A and B are shown apart, each in its own frame.
Chain A
């Protein structure tokens, strides 16, 4: 499983390469057998390296290695070759479409890869602010999008979240038929407005919960005039919009009689 994920993951840019490094080191930790598998993949991987959708600058691709990288606090910083560089090459953010093709284990690993990358960028940013030097890759600002890399990573993580949520929703619907993960109910607040109240977990029953009882999910009688006034305001605004639209149509018809009357 780890080896196949390695094979799929490797064809793309820097983030992928880190993923490969980390996943192989994880594999090494778990079992020595996977090491041989990933080494045999080395031959096969040189072929698909160039057949990727995005630009994978072959000169920039670091050679594969299956040694356990010395983990720890070094991962908060870039690799030592990139220290002091003005520009650092980086890849495009993940799209939801690409993420949907990955398995759950892959997504889980990818989340941590992105998280470590984000931590690294934040560290470098803070250090550059401290030293009053410009961060070594504001050209991680994409020319098209003009977004810093940390934002790209945040977007990738958000999309990953969305994909995982979709899968969880589907599973829950199939297994239990529940549409929402968090239970709730339609309730009326003090002002007479109906809204979806999401339940919270409490250690006490509701009739013993003083703070909860102060919330009042009913409308007192003296609020009724206010509700009526609010309703009138809403209806007046709606009629105003409709009248305006009608007047606009009449004016247009006068000016341009050939236009067909729009059905609103």
Chain B
């Protein structure tokens, strides 16, 4: 992202609108740590971006109707030390809370739901799985003992 370190050209009243082609900024959608309203989406953005930048970015590139944008800078610790007792800084980041316009809602989806994969019948994997399940069944204690371990006799 810091490939093109450029200073923005000076703006004076009457100048044309500044346009950035091929923006080098990348946003990260994050799951909110605290409960947020239904229309609020939380992003981690680079430090150099502003609220107007975020609004234009989402509207032009992702075609998302943006209502309001609020940003804050999260300071991360410089207190941690590594094995050489040197202070290690965790990099700071900017967080943007974007409220969607037109009464749209967004819920952060669950990406990592494990799918139940059933292997083909007669294959090696299926036999292995069956074997593992049988082993587990044998390992389990007798339910009639009511949770009491086998250590106690009888």
Contacts of A118 in B (CB 8 A): 26
Asked if B64 and A83 sit within 8 Å, CB to CB, the answer is no
Residue A108 at the chain B interface, CB threshold 8 Å: yes
Residue A111 at the chain B interface, CB threshold 8 Å: yes
Residue B68 at the chain A interface, CB threshold 8 Å: no
Residue B7 at the chain A interface, CB threshold 8 Å: yes
Selected from B3, B21, B44, B114, the residue in CB contact (under 8 A) with A126 is: B44
Minimum CB distance partner of B4 in chain A: A161
Which residues of chain B from 1 to 57 have any CB-CB distance to chain A below 8 Å in the complex? 3-4, 7, 9-10, 12, 21-24, 26-31, 41, 44
Contacts of B147 in A (CB 8 A): none
Contact with B along A42-81 (1 / 0, CB 8 A): 0000000000000000000000000000011101111000
Selected from A75, A77, A85, A123, the residue in CB contact (under 8 A) with B62 is: A75
Contacts of B23 in A (CB 8 A): 115
Asked if A130 and B30 sit within 8 Å, CB to CB, the answer is yes
Asked if A73 and B26 sit within 8 Å, CB to CB, the answer is no
Asked if B28 and A123 sit within 8 Å, CB to CB, the answer is yes
Residue B111 at the chain A interface, CB threshold 8 Å: yes
20 of the cross-chain contacts (CB-CB < 8 Å) are: A71-B64, A73-B29, A84-B111, A84-B112, A84-B113, A116-B62, A119-B26, A123-B28, A123-B29, A124-B111, A126-B30, A127-B111, A131-B112, A133-B112, A157-B24, A161-B3, A201-B7, A201-B9, A201-B10, A203-B10
Minimum CB distance partner of A203 in chain B: B10
Contacts of A128 in B (CB 8 A): 112
Asked if B64 and A73 sit within 8 Å, CB to CB, the answer is yes
Asked if B61 and A116 sit within 8 Å, CB to CB, the answer is yes
On B, residues with C-beta under 8 Å from A are 3-4, 7, 9-10, 12, 21-24, 26-31, 41, 44, 61-64, 106, 109, 111-115
Residue A28 at the chain B interface, CB threshold 8 Å: no
Asked if A136 and B112 sit within 8 Å, CB to CB, the answer is yes
Contacts of B112 in A (CB 8 A): 83-84, 127-128, 131, 133, 136
Residue A122 at the chain B interface, CB threshold 8 Å: yes
* Nearest chain A CB to B73 CB, angstrom units: 17
Which 6 pairs between the two chains have the least Cβ-Cβ distance? Answer: A201-B10, A122-B28, A76-B29, A111-B22, A123-B29, A71-B63
Contact with B along A84-117 (1 / 0, CB 8 A): 1100000000000000000000001001100110
Q: A83-B113, A108-B22, A164-B22 are in contact. List 7 more A-B contacts (CB 8 A).
A: A71-B63, A73-B64, A83-B109, A84-B113, A122-B26, A122-B27, A161-B4
Residue A233 at the chain B interface, CB threshold 8 Å: no
Contacts of B111 in A (CB 8 A): 77-78, 83-84, 124, 127
- Bound Cα distance from A127 to B12, whole angstroms: 42
- Bound Cα distance from A19 to B7, whole angstroms: 31
Asked if A73 and B106 sit within 8 Å, CB to CB, the answer is yes
Residue A214 at the chain B interface, CB threshold 8 Å: no
Selected from B3, B26, B62, B114, the residue in CB contact (under 8 A) with A84 is: B114
Asked if B10 and A202 sit within 8 Å, CB to CB, the answer is yes
Asked if B62 and A71 sit within 8 Å, CB to CB, the answer is yes
Residue A200 at the chain B interface, CB threshold 8 Å: yes
Contact with B along A196-220 (1 / 0, CB 8 A): 0000111100000000000000000
* Nearest chain A CB to B96 CB, angstrom units: 13
* Nearest chain B CB to A111 CB, angstrom units: 4
Contacts of B109 in A (CB 8 A): 77, 83
Contacts of B63 in A (CB 8 A): 71-72
Asked if A73 and B28 sit within 8 Å, CB to CB, the answer is no
Asked if A119 and B28 sit within 8 Å, CB to CB, the answer is yes
Residue A244 at the chain B interface, CB threshold 8 Å: no
